[in-house]
Amino acid sequence: MNAETEQSGIQKTLGTAAFIVALALAFVCIGNSSPSFWIIPKMGPYPSAIIRPLILGGAVFLVLVRYPVGPWLLRGMPSLKSAAWVIDVVIMAAALWVFWRYYTDVSEIEVGLFDFTIIHPLIALTACAIFILLCWRVWGTPLAVVGILALFYFYTGPYWPWIFETAPVIFIDSSEDLFFNLNDGVLGTIMGILIFTVFPFILLGVVLEQTGGGRSLIKIAFHLTRNFRGGPAHAAIMASGLFGTMSGGAVTNVVATGVITIPMIKKRGFDPAFAGGVEATASSAGQIMPPIMGAAALVMADFTGISYLTIIVAALIPALAYYASLFTSVVFEARRLGVEAVPDMQDDLAVDGQDIVNLIMIIVPVGIVVWTLILGFSPAGAGMMALYSLIPLSFFNSEIRRNPFIIVRALAKGGQTFCELLMAIGVVGIIVAVLGATGLPNDFAQVLNNIGGNTQLFLVLVIAAFAALMLGMGMPTLPAYLTIILIMGPSLQNLGLSVLVAHLFVFYYGVASSITPPVAVAAYAAASIAEAPPMKTAVLAMRVGLVKFIVPFAFAFYPVLLIVEESGVKFDAVDFVSAIVRLLLVIYLVSSATLAFDRKRLPAWEVVLRLAMAFGLLYIVPTIHWVVFAAALAWLVWHYMSAGKGAAAAAE
């Protein structure tokens, strides 16, 4: 008992220490990103050589406390369980050593000449090993394995065939490529973007979730959709889209909104797996919904040099098209099941005055983000201004007035969430360093550039989509998007896509990976709430969200859908209307085909026919897509007339 009491005491102490460290990191990052405005002084940005290793040192500690590596590695050796803590202590000590050396050595490199010695590649490889191990522990196998393969390729590149062959690597100098620089290394530009630009929006989403805005948003969504046939399913789509743009995480969104929406969808008469699937696919798509887009637009803006406002404008039409497809899918499923609108609502979901007040906590910060960006603030500054507004606004909630410490806990939770994400970004940094040192993406792009043509572009898009889906399984969207765009970006651009279209295309498929079997993390989270078979839920989520896999191809071949000139084409109203009209018909055909129901059940051959017509509608040759358009309209008119006659005959 004494041993158990001692163990409990140690865990409590570590938990308290982790809370303090997470809160401290949150305040450090707030100071780092804060803009100068009115009476608010400008404190950051702090020197990169200081802030990056400081944040990463704290992040490793937080991750080790929440996800200890020792017991995980020794789980098959119970006799060594008592010594498992030694492994975590060694990892923490090694992390402090490599990050201290990063600070001291990079500071010297910035001052003048610096000679690398044999110890430097050992430091670099130790840092890489720490990130790979902790990424594996927190996020699973896929990205960690890619990081290992990248390191293996880096040192064995001279022995690979064809375009994969690289120049010989000098072992000592490899330390600069991997670690000791502020640009392409593990602690390079991407890590800097996350720390300076993304973290304020992670804090914003977590504070919003913890201070009551999320639940009020769900209740208002239920109120607005109470007269729809889909009822709670439509409410789930609306709430998940609005809340997901702030939270930025598919699983987080599922857990936050699904605990309320999924039981209500089931109660209305929908299958539990369908309820989980709708919630999962709506929650994952919150990351593609402007204006916040789960902070992805921020990284994209810094990475591409395209303004944040331009990116969120470009993302608007594809996002609305996708959510329109979800609404349409729910309508078809409601028809299939014979579900009718039930305006009555449960008492605990009735909208009261407090919910309207809480809605201010959502509208005002989002409005401030857009307003400050228009005024010329950086994305990081806009995020901080929104956070500054949200904290005092949260006191309109009586629960916060009773217990203001909720805000402190929210800031600490945001720090913890961010630190877990950094483990994945560290592995992305390894991949970035290797790709930059070897030049593989450019070599790959040159090979594909010799092919050219729309057919070849389609094949390269399929490869990029498949790679994003595979890498994104079980991973946060951001690392998957960054890794694939670094590898495939030059190839996509050489085949005619603009930088913006290429980045949005890959990002969409990174988002879609969270509902793609066999590792559909968002669908599995929803399945646990719905008490439904996980794989069935994942398959239904993919079927309901099939348009998410089509929309990126639509704006790749019709960039006018993105509205902005950065898409690679000037906006033309006629071309835009043409693309929109056909895309809406594609949504109708695909949504009905995936559920095999329209006004009546669809036979298998008609499902195939509708999918084929949807594909034809997006074909870029006008003489083909307009013929298909006319045929599709005629077919739907015939379907409605035959269904009406069948219903009349049945009534008689």
Where do the structural domains in the chain lie, given as residue ranges? Answer: 572-652
Residues in the chain: 652
pLDDT band at 394, cuts 50/70/90?
Answer: confident
Q: At what angle do helices 308-337 and 296-304 cross, to 10 degrees?
A: 140
Q: Taking the chain, what is the end-to-end CA distance rounded to the nearest angstrom?
A: 77
Residue type, 152: F
* Pair of tokens at residue 547: 């348009």
* Pair of tokens at residue 572: 């033309």
Residue 590: alpha-carbon gap to chain centroid: 24
Residue 246: alpha-carbon gap to chain centroid: 11
Residue 341: alpha-carbon gap to chain centroid: 33
Instruction: Please state, for a pLDDT cut of 70, what percent of the chain lies above it.
Output: 90
pLDDT digits (tens, 9 = 90+) for 111-164: 877 788 899 999 999 999 999 999 988 887 878 888 899 999 999 988 888 888
* Pair of tokens at residue 311: 């990116």
* Pair of tokens at residue 94: 């090694």
pLDDT given at position 200: 86
Sequence-separated (6 or more) residues with CB below 8 Å from residue 244: 250, 253, 282, 283, 284, 285, 286, 287, 289, 294
Full-model pTM: 0.82
pLDDT band at 317, cuts 50/70/90?
Answer: very high
Helix (H) or strand (E) holding 19, with range, is helix 2-33
Contact in structure between 343 and 350 (CB atoms under 8 Å): no
Contact in structure between 334 and 230 (CB atoms under 8 Å): yes
Contact in structure between 34 and 40 (CB atoms under 8 Å): yes
Q: In angstroms, rounded to a whole number, what is the distance separating the alpha carbons of residues 591 and 357?
A: 37
pLDDT given at position 225: 78
Q: Which of 271-280, 462-471, 629-638 has the lowest mean pLDDT?
A: 462-471
- The tally of CA atoms less than 13 A away on the side-chain side of residue 622 is 3
Helix (H) or strand (E) holding 151, with range, is helix 141-156
Q: In angstroms, rounded to a whole number, what is the distance separating the alpha carbons of residues 574 and 581?
A: 11
Chain position carrying tokens 């071949």: 557
pLDDT digits (tens, 9 = 90+) for 421-461: 899 889 888 988 888 888 877 777 777 666 555 567 788 88
pLDDT digits (tens, 9 = 90+) for 556-586: 999 999 999 999 899 999 999 999 999 999 9
Helix (H) or strand (E) holding 622, with range, is helix 622-651
107 vs 445, residue with greater confidence = 107
Q: In angstroms, rounded to a whole number, what is the distance separating the alpha carbons of residues 308 and 292?
A: 10
Residue 452: alpha-carbon gap to chain centroid: 31
Residue 412: alpha-carbon gap to chain centroid: 21
Identity of the highest mean pLDDT range in 128-137, 164-173, 513-522 = 128-137
